[in-house]
């Protein structure tokens, strides 16, 4: 097992080194994210100010703000964007090179993304985790991180990471069919934003929309870890959701491999 994974770490290490070289750059991107999160938090303050009740769908204002921050953190913990790699490799004809290597392309891309993901974790997610933990300990925001929820959160994040990568990978293979990088990227982001719970908690959705959200894998990437950390699940709900995550992870790994094995037989590479 260790021997088979070992060669792939080189990919992760390489992309980590490159990503870390641009850490200042990433900090600036965080700044622009902060504006967006800030707009969202201020809107929620205004929304609760106009409501006659202090809770909405079971969230107080403080809990809603925590929800938005935690889901942002969860998004950056599970950030995997194989679409960039696939589009680059597709248009440069580099996929051909990857096919003659003894490593498998799909896992090569996975580890490349993992390297980048670690950079984000060091610069954004972990500091944010520390800040949020301090916030919940020092003041009562209706959310308490306990040792138990934190451990379950980490476990859930690991599964979410797999789901995030392999679902986006399947989405990204459509670049080979459509040749539309920019469009696919936007579309992927839009679908994830609506159905993951990062736009608004899924409990605000009407029934039919909720059904779509739970048919798609994105709730398992964003909503499930977030609600675990916020301790909003009963015991049975918790294990059911973790089970669904596990099923998604396994199903998507198998699915992505199947789709990929079909695509490489159909693909034409020019030059490279």
Partner 1 sequence: MKRYFEIYLKFLAQHLKRMLQYRSDFLIGAGSFLFIQASGILFMVLIFQQIPDLNGWSLTEMMFLYGYFQLPRGIDHLLTDNIWLIPTKVRRGEIDRYLLRPINPLFQLVIERFQIEAFGELIVGVALMIYTIPLLNIDLTVWTVLLGLLFIILGSLIYTSIKLITASIGFWVINSMPIMTTVYNIADFSKYPTTIFPKVIQYTVTYLIPFAFVSFLPATALLNRSNGLEILLGSVIAVSVLSIAAYRLWVLGLKSYQSVGS
Residues that bind partner 1 (CB under 8 A): 25, 28-29, 31-32, 35-36, 39, 42-43, 46-47, 49-51, 56-57, 178-184, 186-187, 189-191, 193-194, 199-200, 204-205
CB of 262 to partner 1, least distance (A): 20
- 55's enclosing H/E stretch is strand 55-56
Q: Which is nearer to partner 1, 187 or 246 (CB)?
A: 187
Q: Which is nearer to partner 1, 49 or 102 (CB)?
A: 49
Q: Which is nearer to partner 1, 121 or 203 (CB)?
A: 203
Q: Which is nearer to partner 1, 9 or 29 (CB)?
A: 29
Q: Which is nearer to partner 1, 46 or 100 (CB)?
A: 46
> Residue 56 carries which DSSP code?
E
Burial (CB count <10 Å: 0-12, 13-18, 19+), residue 54: exposed
CB of 27 to partner 1, least distance (A): 8
Residue 82's nearest CA partner among 216, 215, 191, 181 is 181
CB of 79 to partner 1, least distance (A): 17
CB of 114 to partner 1, least distance (A): 24
**68 token code pair:** 């938005």
Q: Which is nearer to partner 1, 191 or 258 (CB)?
A: 191
Alpha-carbon gap, residue 186 to 105, rounded angstroms: 24
- Cβ neighbours for 59, distance < 8 A, ≥ 6 positions apart: 67, 201
Alpha-carbon gap, residue 172 to 82, rounded angstroms: 7
Contact call for residues 61 and 45 (beta carbons, < 8 A)? yes
Q: What is the largest CA-CA distance in the chain?
A: 65
Alpha-carbon gap, residue 205 to 153, rounded angstroms: 24
Q: In this structure, how many other beta carbons lie within 10 angstroms of the beta carbon of residue 178?
A: 10
CB of 33 to partner 1, least distance (A): 8
Residue 129's nearest CA partner among 155, 160, 159, 150 is 150
Q: Which is nearer to partner 1, 14 or 43 (CB)?
A: 43
CB of 68 to partner 1, least distance (A): 12
Alpha-carbon gap, residue 110 to 11, rounded angstroms: 9
């Amino acid at each position: 097992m260790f021997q088979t994974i070992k060669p792939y770490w080189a990919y992760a290490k390489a992309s980590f080194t490159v990503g870390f070289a641009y850490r200042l750059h990433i900090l600036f991107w965080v700044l622009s994210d902060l504006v967006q999160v800030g707009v969202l938090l201020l809107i929620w303050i205004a929304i609760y100010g106009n409501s006659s009740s202090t809770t909405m769908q079971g969230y107080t204002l403080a809990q809603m703000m925590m929800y938005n921050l935690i889901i942002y953190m969860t998004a950056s913990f599970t950030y995997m964007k194989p679409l960039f790699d696939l589009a680059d490799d597709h248009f440069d004809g580099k996929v051909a090179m990857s096919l003659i290597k003894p490593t498998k392309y799909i896992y090569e891309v996975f580890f490349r993304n993992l390297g980048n993901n670690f950079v984000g974790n060091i610069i954004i997610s972990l500091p944010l985790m520390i800040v949020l933990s301090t916030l919940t300990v020092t003041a009562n925001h209706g959310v308490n991180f306990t040792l138990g929820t934190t451990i379950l959160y980490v476990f859930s994040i690991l599964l979410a990471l797999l789901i995030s990568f392999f679902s986006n990978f399947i989405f990204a293979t459509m670049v080979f069919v459509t040749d539309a990088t920019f469009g696919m990227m936007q579309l992927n982001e839009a679908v994830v934003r609506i159905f993951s719970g990062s736009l608004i908690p899924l409990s605000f959705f009407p029934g039919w929309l909720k059904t779509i959200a739970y048919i798609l894998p994105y709730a398992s990437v964003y909503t499930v870890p977030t609600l675990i950390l916020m301790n909003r699940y009963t015991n049975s709900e918790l294990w059911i959701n973790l089970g669904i995550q596990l099923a998604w992870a396994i199903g998507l790994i198998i699915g992505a491999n199947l789709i990929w094995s079909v695509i490489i037989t159909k693909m034409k590479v020019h030059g490279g």
